[in-house]
Amino acid sequence: MAYQLLFFNASVQADIQDWPTQIFASFVRIAEQMEVSGPNLGLPYTKAMGGGLFEIRARGLEGIDRAFFCCVKDQKILVLHGFIKKTQTTPRRELRLAIKRMKEVKNA
């Protein structure tokens, strides 16, 4: 059974669609592969962040962007938050927002 990729809300989807062209294309390629093969693609495409949170690691000539996601029932992959990565480490603020949204979804 195929997976379905959904966004937390329209704002998350719009933010990711506004990423630079090559990075967004990388995100789309990874997302399409996740819909076919499931969310656990592994490095360099996806990475487990712990506690059921994962990240999509999109990159292009313009830089690196990340999108956090979790898996919910019925083979659904939910993209919780996307951001432009400017440092080696993931900013705590971005991680906290993704964790907060994941808890909202899991406890709903």
pLDDT tens, residue by residue, 11-45: 999 999 999 999 999 999 999 999 999 999 999 99
What pLDDT, on the 0 to 100 scale, is given for residue 58? 96
Claim: this prediction has a pTM higher than 0.75:
yes
What pLDDT, on the 0 to 100 scale, is given for residue 1? 64
| Residues 77-102: tens digit of each pLDDT | 999 999 998 888 888 999 999 999 99
Per-residue b/e over 89-101, b at no fewer than 16 CB within 10 Å? ebeeebbebbbeb
Radius of gyration, CA atoms only, the chain: 13
Alpha-carbon distance 59 to 62, whole Å? Answer: 8
Once rounded to an integer, what is the mean pLDDT over residues 35-57? Answer: 95
| CA-based nearest residue to 2, from 103, 91, 75 | 75
Is the pLDDT higher at 88 or at 51? 51
CATH classification number, 4-106, choose in 3.40.50.720, 3.30.2310.20, 3.90.226.10, 3.40.1260.10: 3.30.2310.20
Classify residue 54 as exposed, middle or buried by CB count within 10 Å of its CB (0-12, 13-18, 19+): buried
The label of the residue with tokens 């994962």 reads 54
What pLDDT, on the 0 to 100 scale, is given for residue 68? 98
